[in-house]
Every structure is written in structure tokens, then in C-alpha cells.
Structure 1
Amino acid sequence: MSERIAAVDCGTNSIRLLIADATRDETHTAHLTDVHREMRIVRLGQGVDATGALNPEAIERTRVALHDYVDLMIEHGVTRVRMTATSATRDASNREDFFTMTGVELGRVVEGSQAEVITGDEEARLSFAGAVGELSSADGPFVVVDLGGGSTEVVLGDSDGVQSAYSADIGCVRITERCLLGNPPTREEVASARFFASERLAQAFGVVPVERARTWVGVAGTMTTLAAVALDLPEYDSEKVHLTRLPLTEVRRVSDLLIGMTHDERAALGPMHPGRVDVIGGGAVIAEVLADELARRAGISELIISEHDILDGIALSIA
């Protein structure tokens, strides 16, 4: 017997929806069958790093998207929903305004529902659960990196689950707003961004023993966009991106390309989402630092890109 459920992941840069049919097999393991997936760029974390508060316009952009998502949940007969909010809301002084809004919207589909702030540790565990579900246990242990807008989760685990996790206080929006102000960024700005990324990621590597990992899995928009550009896709195609394997030399090549581009040059790339144009360079800096560190620490030579991530983990948590 299946149940129709919905998961919403509201991050610093985007809000995403998964509606799925959830079933359990004879071992009580949950499985998901997609009904609908959707992503919108709402930039909820706009200015949070500088002001410590959510911009009212950003909250309204998020409300409009969530309202449409709830309409879809009602249309598809969803009976359970979970919405999580991550880095931007963890840091905001006015986050109650955001949660009041989510309660009004989600209450239209399941009474009493509202978004919940999850810790960086839980964010990491949910990302891991979603990312490795289709990979062979023989490829483990895995280091899963969820490179978001405001934070980057680094998770080590295998088929038995998570062994270690850390949420680093850095993401593509945060690093762009702090370091990469030029169009294109200057050499000094890029050097500052790389130093900032290295410093924040060193904290993660001090906690997570990535040297044990055999396979690096990258999830979220920066990673999937890197893959789409590397594949030279005329437009974004999630099926072609999913489970792409990129040699680290290719990760560095595409990262350098995106970092050095102007806003207009990035916007002209076929698979580039308009909402990622101004922050993809910051994400590429972080990806490049990760590639260098994981090669040095673990001898890893390639990156596997997964389209399945925290959104799938959220759905599995209620399946």
C-alpha cells in the first residue's frame, strides 16, 4: 500500500518540492516513486549574512512559491507533508515571520503543519540518505557534500548510515555576498574567496575523517550546474546530470571557467538557471577547494553528481 507524501526543502537560495508515492518492502525499507518535482529560486537568504534578518521581499517571494506548491499538494491528494528550513532561517532574527507564513500555507493541506528549522547535523544526515540510495555499497564509504546557498554539509557514511557529519558556515550565496563583488570578480576577490572557503571547510575536515572515503558524491544546485556545463548540455536535463561522474581535472576546469566569466557570459550558458547566474562563481570556488582537499586527503579522483539529495531524505523521513 502506498501513501502520497510531500517534502519541501527551503534553503538560502531555492525552495524545492517533491510529491511522491511512498511504499515499504518486506524489510520495511521505504521507497519513493516521484509524482512531481519542482524548484524555484527565491533567494530567501538575501542579505542575511550582512543584516542578520530575512528581507520581507524575500519572505514574500517564498510565500508565493509555497502557495503554488500547496495548490499542487492538494491537487495530487497529499496526506502528509514535511517542510524543512535551513541556513538562512537558522541565522535570522525575524524567523518567526517566516514560520507564521509557512503555517498559514501548509495548514491548507495538513492542519497544524509548518516549516521546521533543522540543525546542520540533521541537514547533513538527510542529504546523505537521499544522495547514496542508488549507489552500490561497494563504492563506500562515501563523503557526501551538499553545497547550498548558506551552508555546506560534509557527511561521511556507508550503507549502514552516517558516521560523521559537519555543517560548514559557507555556501554560494554567502561567499558571493562577502567576497565576489566584481563582474567578473577580480583576482584579489577570488583569492579572498578561496581563503574563506579553505578556512571554513578546514573546520569540517577537522571533524569529519574524509580520508576514509572512497567516493565523493556532490548534491544541490552548484554541483548539478557544474555537471550540466561540463556535459555541454544545450539546456538543463536532470536525467543526463544524475549520476554523472566528473574527473577532478574537469571539476577544476569548469570551476575556473565559471569563476572567470561575466554575469552575461554565465547567463548565456544553456543549462544555467537565471537564479544561479550571480552565485555560481562562488559555488565553483567552494567546489574547487573541495576537489583539491579531497584529492589530497583521500586520494579521490572523481566526483559523482546526484540529483537526489536532502529533498529525498526529507520525504524518506516521513515515508
Structure 2
Amino acid sequence: MVEEGAQRLSRNPVAAVDCGTNTIKLLVGDLPDVAVREMRMVRLGEGVDRTGRLGEEALARAFAAIEEYAAILAEHDVSRLRFCATSATRDAVNAQEFSDGVYARLGVRPEVLSGEEEAALAFAGAVRNLAASPDAPVLVVDIGGGSTELILGDTAPSAAASMDIGSVRLHERHLRSDPPTADEVAACVADIDAALDACPVSPADAATVVGIAGTVTTVAAGVLDLPAYERTAIDQQVLAVEAVHATVSRLVAMPVSERLALPYMHPGRADVIDAGALILSRVLRRTSVPTLVVSESDILDGIAWSLV
């Protein structure tokens, strides 16, 4: 998707790339104005939980997307580029192969973020976007393909933690049937709960919960029953937590074919949305808040703002 007609920027544009387990995203903008916002579903972390390596097919998909991004960057006079990589490349033994491929195509090497760095950038991107000042403390929930970040704070993070639970990782580990069996769902929930039990950030401390990234925004589209995925219709929505739980239950019970038929569902997310949605639901179960705030701005925006 290209925003604002993809106009050529004339002042001091920056570019940010967020490379996660499931997606690679690009933002180009003279902030706060955004000219380009793109996403490719490449499943870079496919199989990493099992093998410890980035697969050859996954690397090929990622490099193809990065080559498309290189062409977009060439169309804009970008002053600075920051490429951040998250869970999949933290875990892979052949991460250098990925780093070399990025450098060959973009002229920069990816920064492999620590969990703490990832959390701080996600919080900055999410909270800066909010139109209304939220009640503090604010809990930002960032569910990725390989990890989930919980970040608690006011204007800046005061506590943050990264857990090795994500939509791709837990789907591959537990939800092998289509649709998942009750035993598979129970095993997935137990894994999520164990991670939350060990997490130093308690969702119970939150006065406001802000959800970001594709799992949350897709669940939000389901709650809203949108006829198509529409970023502007999802951003800043305040959803009843009980409606979120109900939508999660429906998505988990569906076979992949039914999820693919949902007009708001990205085909690259349909198979793993079950595990990601369960993570969201289990986090919300530990809060006392009645609503979930959804933000379409996330770590990608945080990366971009770090360059300003």
C-alpha cells in the first residue's frame, strides 16, 4: 500500500525497514508525513524454531522483497536508512548470510535488535500515534511471528520484556491440524501462559492496553467485520475486550480455507493467525481493562522516528 499518492519527498526523508519473522515492512517519509508504507509477507522465520536456521526458500523470498524495496528507495532522495531485524535473525545460526544479502542489495547491514531495543521502538511508535492521551500506565502489546513484546510505561517505557512466543513459532509448534484440535489449542495456551507467568512485565498493571502489528490489527478488522482490510478504519479503534475474545475464538475454530475467505484476511497470515490471536486473548485475560486500543503505528514508525 502506498499512502498519499506516493509523492516524491522534497525535504529530508528517512526510510525505515522492519524485518520480522513473518513480514518485512518499509516506511519512507519526511516525518510526520509518510509517503510510502509497504509490507511483504515473506515468512523469513519459517522453520527457525525447529532447525535454528533461516531456510533457503525463506531467504529467497526475503531478498526478493528487499530488491523491490531497493527500487522504491531509488525513487526517493532518502537521507538516512535504518534496517532493523528482529526475532528470526536473532535465533538463526546463519544470520550472517542474511546480513550479507541485505548489504549487497541496500548498502546497509541490518541491526539485530535486542528484545529491549525492539520494545522501546515499538512503544515509541505506538504511543506517539495516539490521538488521545491514554490513562497510564500504558501496556503496548506487540505480537510478532517469533516473539511478543510487552512494554509498560507512560511517555516512555518503564519496563519491557520480549517473550519467545509468536504467531509463526507457536503455530508451527502446536497447531498442526486444520482447524486446530482442542488438545492442540490447550497446549498452545499452556505455552503462552507459561511465558506470561515468567514475564517480568505484568499485564495486570495496565490502565490502558494498546495493541499493535498485524495479528492485532487483523483481529480488530474481524471485530469490526470490515468488508476489506482498511488501515484508516482500524487505526485508533477502541474495542470491547469481550468482543476481541469472541473474535479470537471464531478465528481459531475456522479452517484455513474459511479464514482465507474473510475479506480482511491477508493470505500470508491466514494459517498462523490462530496462534497470534490466542496470545492476544491470553494477555487480555490478565488485565482488568474493558477495552483494547488498536494502533496501526508500530515498531516501523518507531524506527523511522529514531532517525529524526
TM bin, normalised by shorter chain, reads over 0.9
1:248-267 aligned at under 5 Å gives the runs 248-267=241-260
Deviation at 1:137, TM superposition (A): 3.5
Hey, what's the Cα distance between the residues in 1 that align with 2:104 and 2:68? Answer: 13
Please list every run of at least 4 consecutive aligned residues from structure 1 whose deviation after the TM superposition is greater than 4 angstroms: none
Hey, what's the Cα distance between the residues in 1 that align with 2:158 and 2:307? Answer: 22
The match for 1:241 is 234
> Structure 1: which 5+ residue stretches go unaligned?
23-31, 108-112
1:71-110 aligned at under 5 Å gives the runs 71-107=71-107
Residue type at the aligned position of 1:306:
S
Q: Verify the 8 A CA contact 1:11 1:148 in the aligned structure 2.
A: yes
Hey, what's the Cα distance between the residues in 1 that align with 2:293 and 2:274? Answer: 20
The match for 1:227 is 220
The match for 2:165 is 170
2:20 counterpart of 1:11? yes
The match for 1:27 is none
The match for 1:308 is 297
Q: Secondary structure at the match of 2:92?
A: coil
2:149 counterpart of 1:153? yes
The match for 2:184 is 189
The match for 2:205 is 212
Residue type at the aligned position of 2:102:
T
Q: Secondary structure at the match of 1:114?
A: coil
1:105-116 aligned at under 5 Å gives the runs 105-107=105-107, 113-116=108-111
Q: Secondary structure at the match of 2:268?
A: helix
Hey, what's the Cα distance between the residues in 1 that align with 2:136 and 2:70? Answer: 37
* Residue in structure 2 matching 1:144, options 133, 140, 144: 140
Change beyond 3 A, Cα 1:162–1:303: same
Deviation at 1:210, TM superposition (A): 3.6
Q: Secondary structure at the match of 1:240?
A: helix
Residue type at the aligned position of 2:180:
P
Q: Secondary structure at the match of 2:81?
A: strand
Hey, what's the Cα distance between the residues in 2 that align with 1:124 and 1:19? Answer: 21
Q: Secondary structure at the match of 1:274?
A: coil
The match for 1:42 is 42
Please list the CA deviations of residues 95-138 of structure 1 after superposition, one character each: whole Å capped at 9, or x if unmatched: 0000000001111xxxxx21110000100000000001133345
User: Once the two structures are aligned, what percentage of the paired residues are identical?
Assistant: 47
Residue type at the aligned position of 1:176:
H
The match for 2:117 is 122
Hey, what's the Cα distance between the residues in 2 that align with 1:36 and 1:208? Answer: 34
Change beyond 3 A, Cα 1:76–1:91: same
CA RMSD of aligned residues (A): 1.1
Change beyond 3 A, Cα 1:68–1:308: same
Deviation at 1:287, TM superposition (A): 1.1
Q: Secondary structure at the match of 2:128?
A: coil
Please list the CA deviations of residues 239-268 of structure 1 after superposition, one character each: whole Å capped at 9, or x if unmatched: 000011111101100000000000100000
Q: Secondary structure at the match of 1:191?
A: helix
Deviation at 1:211, TM superposition (A): 3.4
Hey, what's the Cα distance between the residues in 2 that align with 1:134 and 1:89? Answer: 28
Q: How high is the TM-score relative to the length of structure 2?
A: 0.95
Q: Verify the 8 A CA contact 2:134 2:208 in the aligned structure 1.
A: no
Change beyond 3 A, Cα 1:141–1:307: same
Deviation at 1:70, TM superposition (A): 1.3
Hey, what's the Cα distance between the residues in 1 that align with 2:280 and 2:63? Answer: 31
Residue type at the aligned position of 2:20:
G
Residue type at the aligned position of 1:18:
L
Please list the CA deviations of residues 187-216 of structure 1 after superposition, one character each: whole Å capped at 9, or x if unmatched: 000010100111112222xx1244332100
Q: Secondary structure at the match of 2:306?
A: helix
The count of residues paired between Structure 1 and Structure 2 equals: 298
Deviation at 1:139, TM superposition (A): 2.1
Residue type at the aligned position of 1:11:
G
Q: How high is the TM-score relative to the length of structure 1?
A: 0.91
> Structure 2: which 5+ residue stretches go unaligned?
1-9
Hey, what's the Cα distance between the residues in 2 that align with 1:285 and 1:105? Answer: 37
Change beyond 3 A, Cα 1:286–1:210: closer
